[in-house]
Structure 1
Amino acid sequence: MTTTSKIVLGVLGAAAAGVAIGMLVAPEKGCDMREKIASGARDWASEFTDWLTARQKDLKDIKNTVAAHAEDVADQAGAEWNKAKNTMS
């Protein structure tokens, strides 16, 4: 399990614990509390979706950088191979 997934699971666990404690000590009526929870969940889901979208962009950028670097390394290896081959001829 990666550090990022541990952090995400930790945040989710803390959020669930906070919701449970909030429901136990809330002085509001049940229907009002459910509406607040639903609204909070929608807000959180939207923020989480935005976060995931940003991370996907980051991963694509990293992938493109690594691919470009790998292509450069392959070109250099090919040049060295040709140089060694010409030297042996």
Structure 2
Amino acid sequence: MKSTSKILLGVITAAAAGAVIGMLFAPDKGNEIRSKVKKTANELADELLNAIRRGKSQYQDAKDDLRNKAYELKGKAQQKVEEMADEADEQYNATKKKLQVS
């Protein structure tokens, strides 16, 4: 787990714990407290799901970028190999021609 994810999870957990503790010490009736706890839990769950969705999206973007760069490098490598092979052929033919002339 990346440090950013750990920090986000810690912040969400701390916020949830703080909210629950704050509600338990509030001078409200039991059903009001339960309602607030439920509402806060739902809000935190939504925040967590949104964070997970953003993380998945960022992961997919990074994966796509990496794949594209790999294909680009593969193409450049193939082109370079072909250029080197052509150059080697030219040098071979030039050397062969010089040897035949001599």
Unaligned stretches of 5+ in structure 1? none
The amino acid that maps onto 2:22 is: G
1:63-83 Cα deviation digits (max 9, x unpaired) = 212211111111001111111
Say which SS state the counterpart of residue 81 (structure 2) adopts: helix
Alignment map for 1:6-85 (pairs within 5 Å): 6-85=6-85
Unaligned stretches of 5+ in structure 2? 90-102
Taking only aligned residues, the RMSD between alpha carbons, in angstroms, comes to 1.9
Question: Which has the larger Rg?
Answer: 2
Deviation at 1:62, TM superposition (A): 2.0
With 29-38 and 12-21 compared, the bigger mean Cα shift is at: 12-21
Superposition TM-score, scaled by structure 1 size: 0.80
Deviation at 1:18, TM superposition (A): 0.2
2:86 corresponds in structure 1 to 86
* Number of positions where the alignment pairs a residue of Structure 1 with one of Structure 2: 89
The amino acid that maps onto 1:48 is: L
User: Measured at CA, do residues 61 and 49 of structure 1 come closer, stay the same or move farther in structure 2, by a change above 3 Å?
Assistant: same
Deviation at 1:49, TM superposition (A): 1.5
Deviation at 1:5, TM superposition (A): 2.4
Say which SS state the counterpart of residue 26 (structure 1) adopts: coil
Q: What is the aligned-residue identity percentage? A: 34
- Structure showing greater relative contact order (alpha-carbon pairs closer than 8 Å, 6 or more residues apart): 2
